[in-house]
Amino acid sequence: MIASPPLGDDVAPKRSVVVYKKNQKLRGVLSHLYQEETCTLAQLAETLYTSVPSITGVVEELVESGWVRTTGTATGNNGRRPVLFSLNPNGHYVIVLDSSTHDTCFMLVNPLRQVVFRRCVDTHLENNAQFVAFLLSFVQESIEEAAVNKDDIIGLGLAIPGLIDARRGINLTYPNLSAPNEPLTTCLEEQLGFPVYLINDSKATALGENRFGGGQGKKHALSINIDWGVGLGIILNGEVFQGASGFAGELGHIQVDPEGELCYCGKVGCLDTITSASSLVRRVQRAVQEGCMSKLAVYQNDVSQITINHVIEAAYAGDSFAIDMLHDTGYQLGKGLSVAINLFNPEIIIVDGVLAQASTFIINPIEQAITKYCLSGFRNDLTVEATQLNGAAKWLGTHAYVMENLFASI
C-alpha cells in the first residue's frame, strides 16, 4: 500500500486549486444544462474550455449524484450519434413563492423549469408578522398536498414587491414581516429547513426575461413590470443590477407631475400615480362616474366593479374611451422610461405585468414618447416589445435566482 504524502504547506494550496477547478466545472455543467436544457459532452467541453475526458468525469459524478441524466441522442447523419445529457427532473425541487398585493402562489418547480404542483390563494401581502405565519403554514400545507419528500426540496425563492436588500434578507417597504434586525430569510429558513432567497418581483421578472424570454442573449435590457405599481428590472452586462442596497429600479417613484396625486410612498406626482394599473382604473372609474361615453358606462351605478380587465376588454372591443386611456398611460410610461434609457442605454425594453395584455394599445405610444424625449443615438438600436412568456417571467426569474445562487455555492 502506498502511503499518502504529508499535507505540508506546499501541498494544501495545490489540493485546494484542484478542488476549486473541479467545483468550477461542476458549476459550469449544471449552469449550462439549466440554461440550454440538453447538451452533448463535446458541447459541454467546448463551452467550458476543457477536454472531453475531463468533462466526462464531471458529468459521470453528476449522474451518480442524481443531478444529471441521459436523455437520448443528438440528431445527425454522420457516424455514431452522441449522447445528450440534461438535468434530472426527479428531485432537486425549488419552491417558488410569489406574494403580491392581490394573492399568494406556491409553485413546486423541477430543474427543467416544469411546474409539478401549483396552489394559489387570495391572501395578499401584509406588513405584519401574522403574514409570515401564514406563509409558513401555506408552504407546509402545500408541500403535504404536493406529496413530495421534503428532502427533495433544495430551496425556496420568495418574490415580493418593495425595497428589498437581498444581502440582508429584509424588505424595507414591509419591515414588520420579521423582528427588528432579523432577516426574513433567516426566520423562514429556521422553520422550513432549507435555504430561502428573497428577490424583488420586478427584478425576478427581468431575470426571467433575460434568461428565457425576449431579453435572452441581451447584455443590457430593461423590463418594465406594470402591475398595481410600476417596477423596473435592469439587466447590465447580463446580470440583474441591484444597486448599493438592492433598491435600483424604482422607476415608479420618479416625479412626473409636481401638481399630481399623492403617492402611497408619501411623495406627490410619482409615475406610479399615472401609469400603474390601479391608477388607470381609478381614472376610468372617475370618468365613468362623471358620465363619459363608453361601453364601461354600464357600471356607472357602481364604478367599483370596473377592473383593469374590463378596461382592456373594452379597448379590444373598439371602445374609444378605453383605447384613449390606455394610449395616454403608454405615452406617460414612455416619458418615464426615457429617463432610464438615457441612463442605461439598453438594447431592449420588455413590457411585462398586467398591462402587457394591452400591448396593442400601449407599445406604440411608449415608442412615440421615447422618440420625443430620448436622444436619437439612444433610440437607434433599441426595440420595445411585450413579453412572450405569458405571465411566467416572474416565477421563471425567481427559480433561476435560486438555482444560480445554489450553483454558485458549490
| Same domain, yes or no: 145 and 273 | no
How many CB atoms within 10 Å of residue 136? Answer: 14
| Same domain, yes or no: 62 and 144 | no
Instruction: With a cut of 50, say whether residue 329 has pLDDT above it.
Output: yes
Mean pLDDT of the chain: 91
Query: Out of 13-22, 104-113, 122-131, 217-226, which region has the weakest mean confidence (pLDDT)?
Result: 13-22
Higher pLDDT, 330 or 4: 330
| Same domain, yes or no: 347 and 236 | yes
The model's confidence at residue 14, banded by pLDDT at 50, 70 and 90, is low
Query: Which domain range does residue 173 map to?
Result: 93-204+395-408
Q: Stretch 224-238: mean pLDDT, rounded?
A: 91
**Domain annotation covers residue 6:** no
Q: What is the pLDDT of residue 257?
A: 85
| Same domain, yes or no: 182 and 104 | yes
Instruction: With a cut of 60, say whether residue 348 has pLDDT above it.
Output: yes
Residue 380, domain CATH:
3.30.420.40
| Same domain, yes or no: 175 and 218 | no
Q: What is the pLDDT of residue 7?
A: 41
Query: With the CA atoms of 26, 31, 33 and 39 taken in that order, what torsion angle do they form, in degrees rounded to the nearest 10?
Result: -70
* Torsion sign, CA atoms 10, 16, 19, 24: negative
Q: What is the pLDDT of residue 229?
A: 85
The model's confidence at residue 267, banded by pLDDT at 50, 70 and 90, is confident
Say if CB 285 and CB 303 are below 8 A apart: yes
Instruction: With a cut of 50, say whether residue 188 has pLDDT above it.
Output: yes
Q: Stretch 14-24: mean pLDDT, rounded?
A: 75
The model's confidence at residue 336, banded by pLDDT at 50, 70 and 90, is very high
| Same domain, yes or no: 165 and 269 | no
Q: What is the pLDDT of residue 6?
A: 43
**Domain annotation covers residue 144:** yes
What's the pLDDT tens digit per position in 56-75? 999 999 999 999 999 988 87
Angular region, 109: left φ>0, alpha ψ -120 to 50, beta rest: beta
User: Residue 157's beta-bridge partner residues?
Assistant: 96, 197
pTM: 0.90
Alpha carbon distance 304, 273 (integer Å): 18
Q: Stretch 245-261: mean pLDDT, rounded?
A: 87
The model's confidence at residue 3, banded by pLDDT at 50, 70 and 90, is very low
The model's confidence at residue 156, banded by pLDDT at 50, 70 and 90, is very high
Closest of 11, 50, 10 to residue 27, by C-alpha = 50
| Same domain, yes or no: 143 and 222 | no
Q: Stretch 394-402: mean pLDDT, rounded?
A: 97
| Same domain, yes or no: 259 and 330 | yes
User: Which grid coordinates are listed for 136?
Assistant: 409558513
Q: What is the pLDDT of residue 15?
A: 54
User: Residue 386's beta-bridge partner residues?
Assistant: 351
| Same domain, yes or no: 279 and 376 | yes
User: Which grid coordinates are listed for 185?
Assistant: 430569510
Say if CB 382 and CB 341 are below 8 A apart: yes
The label of the residue with cell 401584509 reads 126
User: Residue 350's beta-bridge partner residues?
Assistant: 223, 385
Say if CB 202 and CB 223 are below 8 A apart: yes
Alpha carbon distance 36, 38 (integer Å): 6
| Same domain, yes or no: 106 and 128 | yes
| Number of domains composing the chain | 3
What's the pLDDT tens digit per position in 309-318? 999 999 999 9
How many CB atoms within 10 Å of residue 5? Answer: 7
**Domain annotation covers residue 277:** yes
Higher pLDDT, 156 or 2: 156
Q: What is the pLDDT of residue 2?
A: 37
User: Residue 96's beta-bridge partner residues?
Assistant: 107, 157
Instruction: With a cut of 90, say whether residue 109 has pLDDT above it.
Output: yes
What's the pLDDT tens digit per position in 171-186? 988 989 988 778 999 9
The model's confidence at residue 20, banded by pLDDT at 50, 70 and 90, is confident
Instruction: With a cut of 50, say whether residue 157 has pLDDT above it.
Output: yes
Within its chain, how far is the Cα of 257 from the centroid? 29
**Domain annotation covers residue 182:** yes
**Domain annotation covers residue 302:** yes
Q: Stretch 285-296: mean pLDDT, rounded?
A: 95
Q: What is the pLDDT of residue 77?
A: 58
Q: Stretch 105-131: mean pLDDT, rounded?
A: 96
**Domain annotation covers residue 209:** no
Q: Stretch 244-268: mean pLDDT, rounded?
A: 87
**Domain annotation covers residue 321:** yes
| Same domain, yes or no: 288 and 366 | yes
Amino acid letter for position 325? M
